[in-house]
């Protein structure tokens, strides 16, 4: 089966399983989304969603957040892990957004990725889920499934993103990256399936006998 045929199977099945793709991180504006995505690094969405209401009660915009000291931010976000680094990044990026962008989250990859604590994946999520621009953020679930489905060599997330963008239509990216994440969490988990048992894996590789050893991101 050709790669394009597998891609068509994947799209068809994911659209059936997940016709709707709610954004996992709770937020009320683009700034809150940016902070939530930053906090989600090495932390579950569930935990982030428990922490952000307390943080956003104190400050849900760059001006108010910049008025908090890093210790105040740290005490709230501590359960997320990497809290010292994240609290400094939140404080610093809030000051930059308020001063240099009139309090509005910048709407470009280049400007987002210059902000403290904001890498390409975080910028991609904000551009996709916050502004609606086509993007394909690659997390561990997407990186793993893309390898199990034979869509990428899996050398790194940069290569995985490039390969997925090349095979799937641009109009599908924003919805598809969420669908793959949902599917990876529910059906094709890191410590199960291994490319052998979930519906999409068996449809893409009906004759596969050996488990797939995926390369970590």
Active site residue 121: yes
Please give the structure tokens belonging to residue 81.
Answer: 């892990």
Distance separating alpha carbons of residues 205 and 199, to the nearest angstrom? 10
Q: How far is CA 206 from the centre of its chain?
A: 29
For 92, residues 6+ apart whose C-beta sits below 8 A from its C-beta are 116, 117
Active-site residue among 114, 121, 189, 216? 121
Q: Any idea what the Cα angle at residue 127 is, between residues 25 and 159, rounded to 5°?
A: 95
Please give the structure tokens belonging to residue 156.
Answer: 């790194």
Ordered DSSP codes for 125-140? HIIIIIT--------H
Active-site residue among 95, 104, 139, 213? 139
**Distances from the Cα of 188 to the Cα of 144, 197, 198, angstroms:** 9, 8, 6
For 210, residues 6+ apart whose C-beta sits below 8 A from its C-beta are none
Please give the structure tokens belonging to residue 134.
Answer: 């086509």
Please give the structure tokens belonging to residue 113.
Answer: 């990725």
Q: Which residues are catalytic?
A: 121, 139
């Amino acid at each position: 089966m050709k790669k394009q045929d597998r891609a068509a199977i994947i799209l068809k099945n994911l659209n059936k399983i997940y016709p709707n793709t709610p954004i996992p991180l709770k937020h009320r504006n683009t700034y809150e989304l940016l902070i939530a995505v930053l906090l989600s690094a090495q932390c579950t969405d569930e935990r982030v969603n428990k922490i952000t209401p307390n943080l956003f009660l104190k400050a849900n915009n760059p001006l108010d957040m910049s008025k908090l000291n890093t210790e105040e931010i740290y005490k709230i976000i501590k359960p997320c892990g990497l809290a010292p680094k994240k609290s400094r990044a939140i404080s610093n990026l809030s000051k930059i957004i308020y001063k240099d962008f009139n309090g509005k989250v910048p709407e470009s990859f280049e400007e987002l990725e210059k902000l403290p604590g904001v890498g390409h994946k975080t910028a991609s999520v904000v551009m996709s889920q916050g502004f609606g621009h086509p993007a394909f953020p690659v997390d561990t679930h997407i990186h793993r499934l893309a390898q199990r489905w034979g869509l990428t060599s899996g050398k790194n997330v940069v290569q995985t993103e490039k390969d997925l963008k090349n095979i799937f239509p641009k109009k599908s990216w924003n919805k598809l990256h969420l669908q793959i994440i949902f599917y990876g969490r529910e059906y094709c988990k890191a410590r199960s399936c291994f490319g052998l048992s979930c519906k999409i894996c068996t449809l893409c590789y009906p004759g596969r006998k050996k488990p797939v050893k995926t390369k970590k991101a």
